[in-house]
Amino acid sequence: MKKLSKYLIVFSLLFTATGCSPSFTYNNLGWLSGFWIDDYVDLNSDQADKFEHIVKASRDWHRETQLPLYKRDLENLKTMLDKQVDHNELKAHFVQAKQHWQTLINKIEPELIALANSLSYKQRVEFVAALQENINDEYKEHEEKSPEQHKKERLEENLENYKEWFGSRLTAQQKTLIESSSNSRVGTFLMWMQYKQKRLDALKTLFMQKQKPTDFDSQLAVIINNRLAFMSDELIAADDKNLDNYVNLLVELKPTLTDKQRRNVRDEFDELIEEVSDLIDD
């Protein structure tokens, strides 16, 4: 389940650093509760019942309609091992995959807004205060390490991830390619934090009004659903550049795979496909 959890988080978020938790307990949809309310505010019994309904209904819908898409994506990625794939084709695959997360947000948005309407002013204040504390903690944790330490840890993590997928020691050429790609990555932590703060500031402005405005629902819909409205042009460009960098690395690594490594990558995909199939049938 750990491997599947990592896939679903990473794949649905298009390999971007969004600050989301890496944990993913599918049957409880822990990532949904962490998305906005359950971890941050004390719900009364009626609100808790509504939230439980959102979790169960979304989980069942996700299993029925979305997991088959994840399975198809995995199968398509696996076939790319055995054919010529250029940069544009592979990038298009990942861009399309981003829609999985957006589809989920579109699905749960109306019910999240309905639940938000049931929150008292005190609960709304409690919620935004908890989110602000989270952002402050992220800043503090990040600043505990130097840029050089962050860079070193990112490279070590990348090397370990590829070693796990390849199932053997990396060749000198592979290490060089991965290190070069890691060094070329645009640092986006501060840009993502600015995005989070801008989005939270909009939520604060909405939630801190004792008398909810008549357009409360439409304002909240933008905050939940329109991420681009809060992303700077610099972040959008850097995110796209990092995707290009990642795709380039995959294209460059593919011909360096030994037969043993290629077999192991296939096995990794087969295991993921089987786990997704088991969840669909569960």
Which of 170, 188, 139 is closest to 15 using CA atoms? 188
Exposure letters 263-277 (e unless 16+ CB within 10 A, then b): ebbeebbeebbebbe
Task: Name the token pair of 146.
Answer: 């130097």
When mean pLDDT is compared across 204-213, 231-240, 249-258, 265-274, the lowest value belongs to: 265-274
Q: Does the pLDDT at position 17 exceed 80?
A: no
What is the structure's pLDDT at 278?
A: 86
pLDDT digits (tens, 9 = 90+) for 139-192: 999 999 999 999 999 999 999 999 999 998 999 999 999 999 999 999 999 999
The enclosing H or E element of 189 equals helix 189-207
Contact 66, 104 (CB under 8 A): yes
Domain hosting 58: range is 2-281
Does position 21 have pLDDT exceeding 80, yes or no?
no
Query: Which amino acid appears at position 133 of this protein?
Result: E
Confidence (pLDDT) at 95: 87
| Cα distance between residue 137 and residue 193, in whole Å | 11
Check: CB of residue 114 under 8 Å from CB of residue 50: yes
pLDDT at 252 over 60: yes
State yes or no: pLDDT of 25 exceeds 50: no
End-to-end CA gap in the chain: 14
Residues 105, 106, 112, 117, CA torsion sign: positive
19 near 196, Cβ under 8 Å?
yes
Number of domains, the chain: 1
Task: Note the pLDDT of residue 19.
Answer: 33
